[in-house]
A and B are shown apart, each in its own frame.
Chain A
């Protein structure tokens, strides 16, 4: 058996639930008990195995019966344990105590608990082996401690033995007297408490309790277990201050026995360790408080010793005594002295931080003899604590943060009194606190380390909490915070939390809003090119917060957003998702801003820009969504949608809530119906094709190497292996309002264009979405992408869906679009990097091929008389399609490419009489008809003469 118990036990202690999920409590308990009985296991291992039982008895013994069995087992192990196994025996007692307390064996008087108490009492009296057992480790002291714990958990349990215990305490001279004293005092306290609960109990009963008078006999189980029968108040501390209720025992002044017991205990208290001494004094304070017949002056002899002590527990007991007995034990001078002591101790160089801070807490809850108010929980300054006296506790930058903040809080209370009470203080105190805050601020400015920053903001919060209403200081703080923020933008989350808390705490104060305004000014005026990406991130965070303020105009914020997304700075990071998201966050808040009306257009601009130009698709999509929401939903709906989402943050927004939102809104039918406009609202007009220099023209002849001339045609044809190659024509149309139409359609949003074909010469055309159309803005350009199946002119029917400003949806029919012959051809789609020579070469090869007139190929001739020079015509209409050089005037070579894969080649010459010869070759003879009309139109056009 190689079970490593150390590991198992530590695994259990560390994560009991996890450990027990691997095995089960019953099995583990059985294993422990078996091992404890095993003689081969060493004592130290057995001690180790008792820890789980001591620490988690209720986990291992889930029911009372299992607890009882376990306790029995452990007791038998104990009894069989050799007396030299001191440590093991001690731990066994602790384990049994834990088990029987936590499984309620004690409170239900199971036989095992009765046996165990008997065992403990026996052990505690057994002084047979004085020499070996008087060490504090002895079984006896552990037995006493177990008894004390049993009595503490089940008050009244040992009542019957009070006399015995009193005797033991008095006789004992070894260290054990401390354990007896502790046990006895607790049993006494619980017994006296029980007497206070009996209506007929009086002095006689108290005497009987202390064993001086046997005339009253107690029924054996009268006090069996108080906690069992009554409420649990007996477990609670009885020290409740002058205003609290303490049950009392009516005894009259004759309590000689009790007094003598108390005196003897107090006299010997000096012999106890400070911790036990303090505990005993505390219990005795409770006893005296319950028995008015004993005057608190009984403690008098101890007071001076206690007031001078360096021990925190002893001084604390004294303070609690004062809390109960007030001026019946402590004079006014004592009170003043104690307060001064606390001030001294709260900054004493020899004490630890925690002690000092505890003393400060004691000052804020100082038990005054005559308290003005009785609000128990609140911090309040004792009357005697003057600003002068407290001034030693002013915070300094040299304090560590916990101390600094505790002092700041306390001194704020001190000076708040001064400020509010209009006392003769000259405001220097407040000025000091303000200066201190400024010193902290300058430290943060020079070294914004995490802890320094947090301490500063906590101090700032305290300051504002108390002095927000002192305008002068709080205004200057705004300025400084702004400046600090610009210096360390990473403080944004700290500032935002501060602002939120101040706003929650003082809804009527303008401070938070003023700070936000100042921050908005500071941020929007900052120079973009000096910002780092991190700065920008925090600025946006801050602006998002500012956008939540209904009263703050958001114009400058929007301008700042527009500047960011259009500035050169942003080109560096327009694919940063985080940045985009931060911008969207601000937009989101702006969408909810009450002044949305006034910033509709700039906000739409920003969103549109994001939707079109931002380098991250997710951001684009979101921007689109926001844009669509902004332009299609009414303000109320928008608010509804967003705030619903917001208020239920953290939970999932239920779809139903969103749908009910729409269903319940007014004018529902109108909202949901698409309106039909009877006349066309806008139209699409062809953008005049600008003559573009093709790239190939710009390139020189240098590129062309005729070495590969033979390959030219193959290279060119190879491109068409890709079915999408040069298969599209793109036509630009401008979307314009139709003149003279009603102002209702001045601003249109989310325009959805649908084009229907009138023949089957083209592939189906995708719908097109245009974000908006405003009459007073430049018209948007619509790119129509068409895929011809056959090179024929066509007509398109266009309809549109759009939203107007009031949120209604409309359907309209646009004038037809005629796609003329001149729009269905494009320049030669030559491979990249081809020079003019290659193109000429290709031209020649194609020409030769088409002139063979095989298949659909054909050649033709078109002649006409022109009024202008040929150069002009070519320049104006054919330059984009020109293959030969413009300067070669004797013959122009022109090539029209018709997607998907047709060509028309022209060789153009003119003679002296201005007659022009167009030699035509094509691979689709059906084009000849159209090409003739086209040539006719360009040669006969009058405007040519004018130009």
Chain B
């Protein structure tokens, strides 16, 4: 359950890769040596590890089209655990090297295998793997934040903090916790409590009026094809995020999610480890099951003792009968221009009040746009700076008819070819919708302010919110050949 070594590597799409931080755990290495006996393979030096990792991830030699070591079809690098083929005097295979590659960072660690290495044990049987994954994921969040935006300065600053962070979360190769911004800060002053043990995931105590904030956020994804032969797909998943400031060592809070009378049950519920107990009925509904009408549909009670920092109490998925916006999109190649027509229709059950709503219409693998003669029934149409994208801003509201259209033609006569994309070629094209609607959820799931129970002396201040947003919301050109996104319904 320990790690032999850890590396943090930064790169720019495979180039200028450097090891920004590394740590070897010599005592774990000592154990690895004892355990592996003759099959022991030493951890090579930094530079070698870097090169081998890049090769495994397909990032080495970006200017060469085929490199046998990197591209052989027989060898399938199997994330999350790569094998590094060490050459030279310490020849052998280092495995499992857990790897998370995200944005400009590659995080990797080598796990201790505490059973015979030959025959190679299944990854699933090695306890250190999930430990390593958890630590790497925690490091990733710590270094990059939850977004994937590269913030070079912030990153260097946080990298500089790693040595002292590692002293706390993984001093001798056995991960104890994941780094959080809170662990990095000076620990707050604890109150020596009575007999109640302090949770290890709570580094301090709140003093003052209790404040509980519960936010339900749903995300809708969709693939709309506009073809008879292919069924449109959409799915919804939600997260419930809490920020609780409540007095006491181990205060009790209960949040209850409720659904409207005939709402479909919440599925695939995952909970934060601070949830103290769960009713089995909450967990039964699954999106991969054939759901029956008799399924449990709430209320969903989550008793927990909150950590100090904001956290995701639970997540769920839901099956809703209709997508919030139904779109259709047709492209036709005509002589020297492209005829474009699109319609978007807001479903009546969705609140017509957007924080924003934009339709992005990209044209890849073509020249830049020349003349754009387009008409929209509502909103405003802009051509992006790169001249390969139309941005249709629909504003805060759909018109009364709840339907908007866009029509016209585009010629592509720009002086330079626009960006390329493997998927979106010729008539295989899409509109991508970006929208956010405050104060609703598609599943109807909500947290009633009064249902939040806080067992504390003072009257707590409780606030709740809801929000719906889109992600990967695609409307494919119905005259083209859209790539299949899921075969579940096809079969």
Interface of A toward B, CB cutoff 8 Å:
13-17, 47, 51, 54-58, 87, 90-91, 94, 97-98, 101-102, 130, 134-137, 142, 145-146, 148-149, 152-153, 172-175, 177-179, 182, 227, 232, 235-237, 239-241, 268, 270-279, 282, 304-305, 307-317, 319-320, 323, 337, 340-341, 343-345, 348-350, 352-355, 357-358, 361-362, 364-366, 376-377, 379, 387-389, 391-392, 394, 396-398, 401-402, 405-406, 409, 428-429, 432, 435-436, 439, 443, 446-447, 449-454, 457-458, 460-462, 490, 493-494, 497-498, 501
Contact between A54 and B270, CB atoms less than 8 A apart: no
Distance to closest chain A CB from B94 (angstroms): 17
Q: B26: which of A56, A90, A148 is its contact (CB, 8 Å)?
A: A56
B489 to chain A: closest residue by CB: A391
Which of B120, B122, B276, B278 is the most central at the interface, judged by chain A CB atoms within 10 Å of its CB? B122
Contact between B280 and A304, CB atoms less than 8 A apart: yes
Contact between B168 and A310, CB atoms less than 8 A apart: no
B239 to chain A: closest residue by CB: A350
Contact between A94 and B487, CB atoms less than 8 A apart: no
Distance to closest chain B CB from A147 (angstroms): 10
B100 is an interface residue with CB less than 8 A from chain A: yes
Contact between B187 and A136, CB atoms less than 8 A apart: yes
B253 is an interface residue with CB less than 8 A from chain A: no
A-B contact pairs, 26 of them (CB 8 A): A13-B22, A15-B47, A102-B29, A149-B174, A152-B27, A173-B197, A173-B198, A175-B198, A177-B200, A270-B199, A271-B199, A308-B269, A308-B271, A315-B130, A317-B127, A337-B284, A340-B286, A349-B471, A353-B100, A354-B137, A355-B80, A358-B124, A358-B130, A358-B133, A389-B288, A402-B78
Distance to closest chain B CB from A639 (angstroms): 27
Q: Chain A residues with Cβ under 8 A from B198's Cβ? A: 173-175, 177, 271
Residues of chain B at interface, number, CB under 8 A: 129
Contact between A314 and B76, CB atoms less than 8 A apart: no
A227 to chain B: closest residue by CB: B34
B23 to chain A: closest residue by CB: A55
Indicate with 1 or 0, residue by residue over B118-136, a CB within 8 angstroms of chain A CB atoms.
Answer: 0111111111011101111
Contact between A497 and B73, CB atoms less than 8 A apart: yes
User: Given A13-B46, A355-B137, A394-B487, A454 and B58 touching (CB < 8 A)?
Assistant: yes
- Chain B interface, >50% SS class: loop
B167 is an interface residue with CB less than 8 A from chain A: yes
Distance to closest chain A CB from B218 (angstroms): 12
Contact between B73 and A313, CB atoms less than 8 A apart: no
Q: Which of B378-386, B420-428, B432-440, B461-469 contacts A (4 or more CB under 8 A)?
A: B420-428
Interface of B toward A, CB cutoff 8 Å:
1-2, 19, 22-27, 29-31, 34-35, 37, 45-47, 58, 62, 65-66, 68, 70-74, 76-81, 98-100, 102, 114-116, 119-127, 129-131, 133-137, 140, 163-164, 167-168, 171-178, 183, 187, 190, 192-201, 203, 219, 221, 235, 237, 239, 250, 268-273, 275-278, 280, 282-284, 286-289, 312, 314-315, 317, 365, 420-423, 425-426, 471, 483-488, 490-491
Contact between B483 and A501, CB atoms less than 8 A apart: no
A447 to chain B: closest residue by CB: B422
Q: B45: which of A16, A237, A274 is its contact (CB, 8 Å)?
A: A16
Contact between A137 and B168, CB atoms less than 8 A apart: yes
10 closest cross-chain pairs (CB), A and B: A354-B80, A316-B130, A310-B270, A365-B122, A178-B200, A457-B73, A365-B124, A447-B422, A461-B73, A313-B130
User: Given A313-B131, A365-B122, A343 and B176 touching (CB < 8 A)?
Assistant: no
CA distance A656 to B167 in the complex (A): 62
Contact between A354 and B200, CB atoms less than 8 A apart: no
B134 to chain A: closest residue by CB: A313
Q: Chain B residues with Cβ under 8 A from A51's Cβ? A: 163
User: Given A153-B30, A174-B190, A429-B491, A237 and B115 touching (CB < 8 A)?
Assistant: yes
Contact between A17 and B487, CB atoms less than 8 A apart: no
Contact between A55 and B137, CB atoms less than 8 A apart: no
Contact between B47 and A149, CB atoms less than 8 A apart: no
Q: A97: which of B27, B121, B126 is its contact (CB, 8 Å)?
A: B27
User: Given A397-B423, A428-B491, A309 and B131 touching (CB < 8 A)?
Assistant: no
Q: Chain A residues with Cβ under 8 A from B119's Cβ? A: 376-377
User: Given A309-B270, A392-B488, A450-B65, A354 and B98 touching (CB < 8 A)?
Assistant: yes
Q: Chain B residues with Cβ under 8 A from A304's Cβ? A: 277-278, 280, 283
Distance to closest chain B CB from A84 (angstroms): 15
User: Given A349-B219, A354-B99, A460-B73, A320 and B127 touching (CB < 8 A)?
Assistant: yes
Distance to closest chain B CB from A534 (angstroms): 11
User: Given A173-B197, A361-B124, A87 and B130 touching (CB < 8 A)?
Assistant: no
CA distance A134 to B202 in the complex (A): 13
CA distance A274 to B125 in the complex (A): 19
B48 to chain A: closest residue by CB: A15
Contact between B24 and A55, CB atoms less than 8 A apart: yes
A268 to chain B: closest residue by CB: B197
| Extra contacts besides A137-B168, A270-B199, A305-B276 (16): CB < 8 Å | A134-B190, A135-B187, A152-B27, A173-B198, A174-B198, A235-B35, A237-B114, A237-B126, A282-B1, A337-B283, A344-B288, A349-B219, A349-B235, A443-B483, A454-B58, A454-B73
CA distance A454 to B62 in the complex (A): 13
Which of B62, B127, B192 is the most central at the interface, judged by chain A CB atoms within 10 Å of its CB? B127
Distance to closest chain B CB from A713 (angstroms): 65
Q: Chain B residues with Cβ under 8 A from A239's Cβ? A: 125, 127
Q: Chain B residues with Cβ under 8 A from A278's Cβ? A: 127, 130-131
Q: Chain B residues with Cβ under 8 A from A17's Cβ? A: 45
B32 to chain A: closest residue by CB: A235
Distance to closest chain B CB from A512 (angstroms): 13
Contact between A350 and B484, CB atoms less than 8 A apart: no
CA distance A134 to B198 in the complex (A): 11
Q: Chain B residues with Cβ under 8 A from A57's Cβ? A: 26
Contact between A377 and B121, CB atoms less than 8 A apart: yes
CA distance A945 to B46 in the complex (A): 96
Q: Chain A residues with Cβ under 8 A from B203's Cβ? A: 136, 175
CA distance A149 to B27 in the complex (A): 7
CA distance A303 to B104 in the complex (A): 38
Which of B22, B31, B365, B422 is the most central at the interface, judged by chain A CB atoms within 10 Å of its CB? B422
Q: Chain A residues with Cβ under 8 A from B286's Cβ? A: 340-341, 344
Q: A451: which of B58, B221, B315, B421 is its contact (CB, 8 Å)?
A: B58
Contact between A319 and B26, CB atoms less than 8 A apart: no
Contact between A102 and B200, CB atoms less than 8 A apart: no
Q: Chain A residues with Cβ under 8 A from B47's Cβ? A: 14-15
Q: Chain B residues with Cβ under 8 A from A443's Cβ? A: 422-423, 483
Q: B485: which of A136, A317, A398, A406 is its contact (CB, 8 Å)?
A: A398
Q: Chain A residues with Cβ under 8 A from B70's Cβ? A: 454
Contact between A308 and B125, CB atoms less than 8 A apart: no
Q: A173: which of B114, B171, B195, B423 is its contact (CB, 8 Å)?
A: B195
Q: A273: which of B136, B201, B268, B484 is its contact (CB, 8 Å)?
A: B201
Contact between A130 and B423, CB atoms less than 8 A apart: no
Q: B27: which of A102, A279, A311, A461 is its contact (CB, 8 Å)?
A: A102
Q: Chain B residues with Cβ under 8 A from A446's Cβ? A: 365, 422, 425-426
Contact between B31 and A344, CB atoms less than 8 A apart: no
CA distance A145 to B175 in the complex (A): 11
Which of B66, B116, B271 is the most central at the interface, judged by chain A CB atoms within 10 Å of its CB? B66
Distance to closest chain B CB from A463 (angstroms): 11
Distance to closest chain A CB from B213 (angstroms): 20
Q: Chain A residues with Cβ under 8 A from B315's Cβ? A: 310, 350
Q: B31: which of A47, A152, A365, A439 is its contact (CB, 8 Å)?
A: A152
Contact between B73 and A153, CB atoms less than 8 A apart: no
Q: Chain B residues with Cβ under 8 A from A135's Cβ? A: 187
CA distance A309 to B200 in the complex (A): 18
Q: Chain A residues with Cβ under 8 A from B193's Cβ? A: 173
CA distance A493 to B70 in the complex (A): 12
User: Given A235-B34, A275-B176, A494-B73, A308 and B115 touching (CB < 8 A)?
Assistant: no
User: Given A56-B24, A172-B197, A277 and B273 touching (CB < 8 A)?
Assistant: yes
Q: Chain A residues with Cβ under 8 A from B68's Cβ? A: 493, 497
